[in-house]
Structure 1
Amino acid sequence: MEEPLLGDSVKTSCERCRRRKIKCDRKRPCTRCAKAGTECVLQGIGEKQRPVSKSYIQALEGQITALEQVIRKLAVANGDERDQIISDLSLATAAPDVSPPDGGQAGPESDAGLAAARVKSGQLRRLRGENAAQFFGGTSALQIHFSKESSSSSPAAASAMGLESLAISTEGLDPSTNQNLINSNVGLGDLYGYVDDFGLKSASFQYEPHHETSQKLMSTFFLEIYPYNMVVYREYFLRDYDVGSGKYYSDVLLYSICALSALQYDDMLSLSDVFSNQAQTLLYSNLDSPDLTTLQALILLGYREIAVGRASKGWLFCGMAFRLAHEMGLHLDPTNWEESGESSGEREILRRVYWAAFMADKQLSLYFGRPPALYPGESDVRNTIRLRYPPGWQGLLETYICKVSANEWDNGVALVGSFIYRAELSKIIHVIITDLFENRRGGADPTIIATKTRRIHVQLTKWLSNLPSFLHWNQWTVGQVPQVVLHLHMMFHTIMIILHRPPSHMFEKPGIADSEDVEICYESLQAILRLMRTFSRYYRYRSLPLDFVHTLSTAASTVMMKRFLQKASWSDPDIERALSLITLAMDEIQNTWPCVREVRDVLLQAQQTQASMPPEDPLDAPDLMNGLEVNNEFFANLGDGDIGTLITDEFLSAQLPGMGLESDLEPFDFNQMPGPS
């Protein structure tokens, strides 16, 4: 059943009117709820309830087992120890409701030592001879490189992770543009060569907003990128762009869109720097009075900078956007401001921007393995709901995007569903980062960590079970599935692997190869490979966002873990097929997301150095995760500009902090399902 749009009439009374036994006019939202300033919730989603899944039951059983272990510890603990255990565990989280199934994973066996070891992983990396360092936590895409033998990483890491700028062709551009590209790594005040000492624009830009090239790249953004980066509200942006002004359009936002879109074409890569520099020039002059489009531009520019290898700059841009979200009050629901003067549609746009920023925060925190900036407990923003197309939308669609009927333009139901369920999944990601992988306090009890891991596993299984039919996918799904649905499931299985994969220095532990944690990783790996095959039949990998790089890195590390644990050769059919699919995807996206090149280079070097000698003795094995032989000759070949890895025994043996699990997940009712039209 399609969720009713804002202003539609529905066939049933809302939950509030039913509970109060008063007449409901059955609008969406109803008049009484709108007047009271409360959320108008419908009952039921119009789908036949499915039986409870076996995987969800297994997850709950595993959680019960973990809690029984905690109870046994409490029974023998003294008063102070008992208070500490309860504080660490934070039992305030309510058990999730039983929901319709959608497949899932089996519950893991109890292994407190493995859980404690997993969350202690991380890397501190720097350029040799430089004072600055970069931290990459246990959830990061660089987890593929981590092992106890490793004390350095491949030279490719410098350009891939933002320590060198991307070499961009300047062929065909005028000399002034070439010089600007050469100087593209200087500060904001010097960007593009068009800003004087007073920060004022001193020359016109070659590509005006309605230039043919600008319009082509803008169209590409809404065709390819927008479904995964919905921080911009498409319809109102184009409405204001058409007239040249408005609260939802600015030149800085347009040029940020163009900079990210140019990475979709190999013959337009050089234009990405041109548009990015112009956007940053305008951004610098707008920071004194930022507006909503400034926040949106910062997020898109942040992704773009990470894409081309300037990870530190991209991280800072996105961090500025998240700070602006708090400054603008986006973390507070618009209904808190009675005199705001905003229409119901404008309120929904503000909610959407907040949730898009929230998802970007979790995505980047997971990618880099760093603490998040936006906390659910600090926000009371409601789920957004769908909006009607604005007047004249058909004309805007045909003029600026493509010649197609508005009703056939996109699958609004799937787009809406993927947006809201990504937000719900991001709340679980937040708990994974803050309660498991943040190194804040030592002395955490392994039993508590294992119990928290089980609880998060249940939440993930619950999330998957709650997916409605139009977001459903499993290995038996046939036919074309919306790209946002396939991406949603890729994200889920990537997170499942991150939650359960053992760190490489635990590979020698007896029984690890047959553990439930490893089995879950294998099952999610197979799901990712099937999703990738399905996706490639109908869509381009290049349109997928940054988290696809994380998915490929996670899948590659799982394949290499499988090869090591099973003592298989590189020519093993399962290993060869999986790595072939992954490397082909990496080759396709390497110009859009150059940061994937490091993972690809690691795979190639691992195959070249170890193809003829699979490890016999784990104690004598080369680097377990990246497949690189770590020896004196390897280090001798590293130049001064290469990356070193700073991992000490103290760091590896440090106890991960036992953060209390204050789950920020709110009960989710699909009848509140929001989304862009």
Structure 2
Amino acid sequence: MSDRQGGKRRILARSCEFCRIRKVRCSAQKPSCASCVKHGKECVYIHQAPKARPTRAMLDDLRAENEYLKGQIRQIKETGQLEKADINTEPAQTAGEHPKSWRDLCEERSRASTPSQSISGRPTAHDPEEAAPDVSPYLWTDEGGNVNVFGPSSALQSCIKPEEHQDPVALVYVRNGLLANAVLSRQQEHRLRLLSSLDGVPIDLAIHLLDLHWNRQHHTFLLTYRPALMRDIAQGGRFSSKFLLNAIFACASKFSCRLEVLDDPTDPSTAGGRFFKRCDELVSSGNLLLSPSLPTIVGLLLLGGTYNAKGMTTKAWLMTGAALRMVYDLGLHLNHKITLENAEEVEIYRRVFWGAFICDKLQSLYLGRPVAIRPRDAHVSHELNDIMEENEPWAPYVDPISSSSSCQVPTIPYGPIHSVSCFQQLCLLFKIVSRIIDNFYVVGATPAGAMASLDGIDAALNKWETNLPSPIQLDPSSGASLNSRRAVPNILALHIIYNAVIILLHRPLLAEGHLNLPSAAPTASWKRCTIAARNITNIAQEYRARYSLRSAPYLISYGVYVACTIHVRNAAAVGERDSDHPTLLTWSLRCLEELSIPNSAVSRPIIIIKNLMEAKGVAISPGDDGVDCADMRPIDADASLPQETDVENPGFPLPLSDEYIEGGDWDWGNWNGSFNEDVLYGFMGSQSHSFGDLLPDMVGMNTDIPSDDGQHMS
């Protein structure tokens, strides 16, 4: 007798659990299907009874929920928080009508015309990233045809439901708990010295490289959460791994003066070679790319940034790209409500997500390739609750056993590090960078759209600077501001990038053919670029004088390179007349030369600038070309900086003159022209495109990445 004739239904499992989770076809073989055999997984079939058919009561509940949500949408519309064109609200349905599904609502939103107003009430031309997000990438359908959202909350819910605010009292307990844990964890770090080695690395060298990481590299992006990482290195917890540990060793090695980190004692570019090889072994043998985890994401991001600094752009692109996709795979782009129980985990999620967000934008600037994470996709707060590293005293790291003079810097404390404030402001700044890339540089950007967005983005930059917390404010044009304050490296780096972003925004208006503007340079944009370039050189020289650029992050190189593109054109425009521009150019080149010691890829922007100088007929003083960085020693931080402005012994910051601001009787013919030789977006790539040119022009010798996406512009 068949099962149906017997009144019973046979329960079948058409897919094993492993195939069902991965959403792939299962061969249903017993005892193990082909997919489980291939991946070495245990093949488990879970027999579940068929889902019950929906009852009238269930349908009534769904209709009621639908009516409630429609009412919420109407209420938000009436308050002016969402535009009419963005959400189509139909009249209340009758009891006999079928309710619209979430998919139908999403399709309506995707078909809606471009909204005329953003959520904040400003025109979307000036604030495109604040428009309602496209939610379709966050929806998927399971085997039963049920619509689900990617993660515990959806982008659709986030745009129609107000953000839940945490209880202030509960947040105080959370912050106090995290701070107390950070202090206690720091007191336990000495226990690592009781170990003989870490993954085969002698403990003395391992501690040395960890100290280098925590002193400099860590404060740039806050990717690593120190209390959890140092604890789990010793205890083998889930926030640490051999891969992450070796990635830290590899990336910190370029800042070390010890010969034991070099594969070739005569070649600084071989620093950390054995650690890079170990990371490659762990990736290939451990299938790390198929098993996303927080340590793997952080390790890949660290390695991606370092490979960019080494000029290995293909490897950097692939590793960073894998990390960014793991961010979505683990749901780090979604906001998580913080409690006492998950406070540390949420803190790590936020730091890793926003660190990945910044790395994504930097790589887009370096390589001229599309960003992977857009601000509209980020539903994560950038508020950090562990403020241990906000007010912690900071001093430059000094290797206790190294005698190399190039690594010696003053050891007195320089004041609070302000890592949390700097990181939060860097997140906000790179949100603006994302808007600049979308409106000015990617294929599809139009002159009309760029001009329409200029004022809004420029106002956002000015507001960003005005709203900086007072401890991290800096006036690069004021000698009193630079010399009277002990600005720590991450504050100086923040202001270098800010001024580079100003040039990134305004220089396209000066590029002939880029925005199809008249050949005469717009005075306002030229002034903004010129002052920003001067500020970058002042800050970089201050950085070199106090800390040495030997241990500076690669992003400073980008800022100095951007400044050089302006200094060269200004020097060409003034011709033989006496001016500060050749001085600024000379010292910017010296900074790049020193930055090239730990970051070999800096040789590429140096070549670009020197080629531009030759094309523009700019020459610097004899003996200044090809600076020997081995002879460049940090200036005593307590010494008074000289006030002369000659090339050999300049005083920084150089004061602004009327001629500098107004431009005087300049040869603007030497300013205008093609900017294909010194692109700002994609300077590490191999091709450049502009609005006025249909065919790409080769701008450099690095062909490591084939420019198959056509995203480069001047």
TM-score of the aligned structures, taking structure 1 as reference length: 0.56
Moved more, 456-465 or 588-597: 588-597
Task: Give the Cα–Cα distance (whole angstroms) in 1 for the partners of residues 417 and 198 of structure 2.
Answer: 39
SS of equivalent to 1:512: coil
Call closer, same or farther: CA 1:319–1:412 in 2, change over 3 Å.
Answer: farther
Matched letter for residue 496 of structure 1: I
1:553 shift after superposition:
1.6
Query: Counterpart in 2 of 1:54?
Result: none
Q: Deviations over 1:84-126 (max 9, x none)?
A: xx97785316379xxxxxxxxxxxxxxxxxxxxxxxxxxxxxx
Matched letter for residue 275 of structure 1: F
Task: Give the Cα–Cα distance (whole angstroms) in 2 for the partners of residues 229 and 621 of structure 1.
Answer: 37
1:613 shift after superposition:
9.5
Query: Counterpart in 2 of 1:295?
Result: 297
Asked if 1:544 corresponds to 2:588, the answer is no
Is residue 361–residue 374 contact of structure 1 (8 Å, CA) maintained in 2?
yes
Call closer, same or farther: CA 1:93–1:306 in 2, change over 3 Å.
Answer: same
Map 1:539-618 to 2 at 5 A: 539-564=547-572, 566-569=573-576, 572-607=578-613, 611=617, 618=669
SS of equivalent to 2:600: coil
Query: Counterpart in 1 of 2:117?
Result: 91
SS of equivalent to 1:334: coil
Map 1:373-522 to 2 at 5 A: 373-387=372-386, 414-440=418-444, 444=446, 446-474=447-475, 475-476=477-478, 477=481, 478-479=483-484, 480-502=486-508, 504-505=511-512, 512-513=520-521, 515-522=523-530
Query: Counterpart in 1 of 2:249?
Result: 258
Call closer, same or farther: CA 1:375–1:606 in 2, change over 3 Å.
Answer: closer
Call closer, same or farther: CA 1:561–1:625 in 2, change over 3 Å.
Answer: farther
Is residue 432–residue 460 contact of structure 2 (8 Å, CA) maintained in 1?
yes
Task: Give the Cα–Cα distance (whole angstroms) in 2 for the partners of residues 422 and 518 of structure 1.
Answer: 25
1:210 shift after superposition:
4.6
Task: Give the Cα–Cα distance (whole angstroms) in 2 for the partners of residues 433 and 556 of structure 1.
Answer: 21
Q: Pick the aligned partner of 1:334 from 318, 333, 336.
A: 336
Task: Give the Cα–Cα distance (whole angstroms) in 2 for the partners of residues 300 and 274 of structure 1.
Answer: 16
Query: Counterpart in 1 of 2:188?
Result: none
SS of equivalent to 2:373: coil
> Identity across aligned pairs (percent)?
22
Matched letter for residue 375 of structure 1: R
Query: Counterpart in 1 of 2:370?
Result: 371
Call closer, same or farther: CA 1:236–1:411 in 2, change over 3 Å.
Answer: farther
Call closer, same or farther: CA 1:95–1:547 in 2, change over 3 Å.
Answer: farther
Task: Give the Cα–Cα distance (whole angstroms) in 2 for the partners of residues 382 and 548 of structure 1.
Answer: 26
Task: Give the Cα–Cα distance (whole angstroms) in 1 for the partners of residues 422 and 589 of structure 2.
Answer: 27
Call closer, same or farther: CA 1:556–1:332 in 2, change over 3 Å.
Answer: same
Matched letter for residue 231 of structure 1: L
Task: Give the Cα–Cα distance (whole angstroms) in 1 for the partners of residues 504 and 433 of structure 2.
Answer: 10
Matched letter for residue 553 of structure 1: Y
SS of equivalent to 1:650: strand
Is residue 352–residue 384 contact of structure 1 (8 Å, CA) maintained in 2?
no
1:561 shift after superposition:
2.3
Map 1:24-103 to 2 at 5 A: 90-92=116-118, 94=120
Map 1:236-247 to 2 at 5 A: 236-241=228-233, 243-247=234-238
Is residue 422–residue 488 contact of structure 1 (8 Å, CA) maintained in 2?
yes
1:466 shift after superposition:
0.7
Equivalent residues, number: 430
Matched letter for residue 283 of structure 1: V
Task: Give the Cα–Cα distance (whole angstroms) in 1 for the partners of residues 456 and 687 of structure 2.
Answer: 36
Is residue 209–residue 215 contact of structure 1 (8 Å, CA) maintained in 2?
no
Matched letter for residue 240 of structure 1: D
Task: Give the Cα–Cα distance (whole angstroms) in 1 for the partners of residues 370 and 518 of structure 2.
Answer: 33
Call closer, same or farther: CA 1:458–1:652 in 2, change over 3 Å.
Answer: farther
Task: Give the Cα–Cα distance (whole angstroms) in 2 for the partners of residues 95 and 457 of structure 1.
Answer: 18
Larger Cα-atom Rg: 2
Q: Deviations over 1:132-152 (max 9, x none)?
A: xxxxxxxxxxxxxxxxxxxxx
List alignment gaps of at least 5 residues for structure 2.
1-111, 123-196, 263-267, 402-411, 621-665, 680-684, 698-714
1:462 shift after superposition:
0.9
1:469 shift after superposition:
0.6
Query: Counterpart in 1 of 2:69?
Result: none
Task: Give the Cα–Cα distance (whole angstroms) in 1 for the partners of residues 498 and 352 of structure 2.
Answer: 22
Task: Give the Cα–Cα distance (whole angstroms) in 1 for the partners of residues 119 and 416 of structure 2.
Answer: 33
Moved more, 314-323 or 614-623: 614-623
Task: Give the Cα–Cα distance (whole angstroms) in 2 for the partners of residues 463 and 620 of structure 1.
Answer: 29
1:599 shift after superposition:
1.8
Task: Give the Cα–Cα distance (whole angstroms) in 2 for the partners of residues 529 and 352 of structure 1.
Answer: 30
Is residue 254–residue 272 contact of structure 2 (8 Å, CA) maintained in 1?
yes
TM-score of the aligned structures, taking structure 2 as reference length: 0.54
Task: Give the Cα–Cα distance (whole angstroms) in 2 for the partners of residues 292 and 420 of structure 1.
Answer: 20
Task: Give the Cα–Cα distance (whole angstroms) in 1 for the partners of residues 525 and 672 of structure 2.
Answer: 22
SS of equivalent to 1:436: helix
Is residue 225–residue 261 contact of structure 1 (8 Å, CA) maintained in 2?
yes
Asked if 1:216 corresponds to 2:208, the answer is yes
Task: Give the Cα–Cα distance (whole angstroms) in 2 for the partners of residues 239 and 490 of structure 1.
Answer: 34
Is residue 310–residue 599 contact of structure 2 (8 Å, CA) maintained in 1?
yes
SS of equivalent to 1:367: helix
Asked if 1:311 corresponds to 2:337, the answer is no
Task: Give the Cα–Cα distance (whole angstroms) in 2 for the partners of residues 538 and 620 of structure 1.
Answer: 34
1:513 shift after superposition:
3.8
Is residue 504–residue 625 contact of structure 1 (8 Å, CA) maintained in 2?
no
SS of equivalent to 2:591: helix
Is residue 355–residue 423 contact of structure 1 (8 Å, CA) maintained in 2?
yes
Map 1:654-669 to 2 at 5 A: none
Query: Counterpart in 2 of 1:41?
Result: none
Task: Give the Cα–Cα distance (whole angstroms) in 2 for the partners of residues 302 and 283 of structure 1.
Answer: 14
Q: Deviations over 1:377-406 (max 9, x none)?
A: 22321223232769xx99xxx9x999xxxx
1:601 shift after superposition:
2.1
SS of equivalent to 1:91: coil
1:287 shift after superposition:
2.7
1:217 shift after superposition:
1.8
1:449 shift after superposition:
2.5
Q: Which has the higher contact order (CA 8 A, sep 6+)?
A: 1
Q: Pick the aligned partner of 2:225 from 211, 228, 233.
A: 233
SS of equivalent to 1:595: helix
Matched letter for residue 254 of structure 1: L
Call closer, same or farther: CA 1:350–1:342 in 2, change over 3 Å.
Answer: farther
